[in-house]
Structure 1
Amino acid sequence: MTIIDYGLNNLKSVSKGFEKIGRSSKVVDTPEEVLSAKCLVLPGIGAFEDGMNGLKKRGLIDPITQKVSEGTPFLGICLGMQMLFTESEEFGLHKGLDLIKGRVIAFKAPEELNIDWYKVPHMGWNEIITPTGSTWDGSFLEETKEETNLYFVHSFYPVPEDKRVILATTEHGKQVFASIVQKGSVVGTQFHPEKSGELGLSLLESFCDINNIGKEEEKNE
């Protein structure tokens, strides 16, 4: 697993997550390393504009776009998921990678909703469900149970133009948002699988399995 470092990453926790499921990983920050990768992971915490500027500064946007066009498996986590989209409204309007058409928007402010417990950011455990009319069959979620709880920390969420890319949704304060998206070889999770206990690790493992990324002991046999 090749983890992209652009200056706003939770690199250690993501690397540790892959280590726990027996997959090796390396952290890279150059175009050459991205172009040679067999599977890419774009984690991240922080502001959308800062994240995109980090990719630009390192010359990573074109290599990422090229790898996705070639069908390289790609996983975006939290901010990394949001940057997959066309643009974000976070602190202005900023362009994203445009790998999935759509816009990242903010949760409604607490004073807009008459819900005592509602807070922003959305922080803590929440469940994922299958959108109406959709199925997880054939995806990396195929073995996942409905209403699985995973760990979220975010104030913004993406709204895809094409609802067919939405694999799972989550509700916070009567706002239903896309918590997992997939378009071709590109997958995005708004939650942190690496911080979501055994269930989160099982999703990372399923992502690896469906993309034929074997365990280290299997490679050495």
Structure 2
Amino acid sequence: MIAIIDYGAGNLRNVKHALNLLELESFITNQPDDLSRANGMILPGVGAFGHAMDRLREKGFDQKIVEEVANGKPLLGICLGMQLLFDKSYEHGEHEGLGIIPGEIVRFNTDLKVPHMGWNQLETENHYKNHPMVRGIQDGDYVYFVHSFFAKANNEQDVLFKTDYGQRFTSAVLRDHVVGMQFHPEKSSKVGMQLLKNFGEMVSREHISSN
């Protein structure tokens, strides 16, 4: 069972619909304590980093998410939800994040139009070529983006995919059982569905191994 976290800053219904199509059991919750009964968590997000972190703190999700991750529960952050996994963001000032993945969120420095919006390609980093999270994914596969800021991970080993938009940037991260996708898998056709399926399989594996 996967908990989709509702803190007032996420595109929840599309994520829930995608999981339903994959026959992955899930529920939407605005109660932090519900995360304890889930086998995995999804943190969606749209909007500004600072406002989203304020909402997480107000509802008590920030500490609960960190606690559940520390206990080995898989987490997927989507779009802004991925950015919230990092230490800090410089969107409209400086804001502290969840601190699950070391690094920071910065604005694009390119002559291309910002926000980066539309379909773009993935390139898997060599150290994750054979990881179960990339099963069924090929270099050059297209996914759907909408963002003006991106993650700069402190550790290259945390980078799962990179994408080129006037500069190469981190488009997905993976650290143990925590995954972040800057793009929207729920809007990314077969490629996105495959990635959500892979995450669902990670949740199942972690649940079996913990019992």
TM-score calculated relative to the size of structure 1: 0.89
Q: Contact 1:71 / 1:185 at 8 angstroms: preserved in 2?
A: yes
2:160 maps to: 167
Matched residue of 1:76: which SS?
A: strand
State the shift of 1:199 in Å: 1.4
CA distance in 1 between counterparts of 2:15 and 2:128 reads 27
1:30 maps to: 31
Aligned match for 1:184, one of 151, 173, 176 = 176
How do 1:47-126 and structure 2 match up within 5 A? 47-108=48-109, 113=111, 118-126=112-120
**Letter paired with 2:100:** L
State the shift of 1:158 in Å: 0.6
**Letter paired with 2:3:** T
CA distance in 2 between counterparts of 1:176 and 1:92 reads 24
**Letter paired with 1:202:** Q
How do 1:176-215 and structure 2 match up within 5 A? 176-212=168-204
2:208 maps to: none
TM-score calculated relative to the size of structure 2: 0.93
State the shift of 1:134 in Å: 2.5
Q: Which runs of 5+ in 2 are unaligned?
A: 206-211
Matched residue of 1:46: which SS?
A: coil
1:216 maps to: none
CA distance in 2 between counterparts of 1:83 and 1:8 reads 12
CA distance in 2 between counterparts of 1:73 and 1:135 reads 17
State the shift of 1:207 in Å: 1.2
Q: Contact 1:34 / 1:60 at 8 angstroms: preserved in 2?
A: no
**Letter paired with 2:170:** A
Instruction: Provide, for residues 47-67 of structure 1, a one-character-per-residue CA deviation record: whole Å limited to 9, x for no partner.
Output: 000110110010111111110
Instruction: Provide, for residues 149-194 of structure 1, a one-character-per-residue CA deviation record: whole Å limited to 9, x for no partner.
Output: 0000000001010111001100101x11111101111000000000
State the shift of 1:143 in Å: 2.4
**Corresponding pairs, count:** 204
State the shift of 1:138 in Å: 2.4
**1:150 paired to 2:151:** no
State the shift of 1:211 in Å: 2.8
Q: Which runs of 5+ in 1 are unaligned?
A: 214-221
CA distance in 2 between counterparts of 1:18 and 1:58 reads 24
4+ long deviations beyond 3 Å: none
State the shift of 1:142 in Å: 2.9
State the shift of 1:197 in Å: 0.8
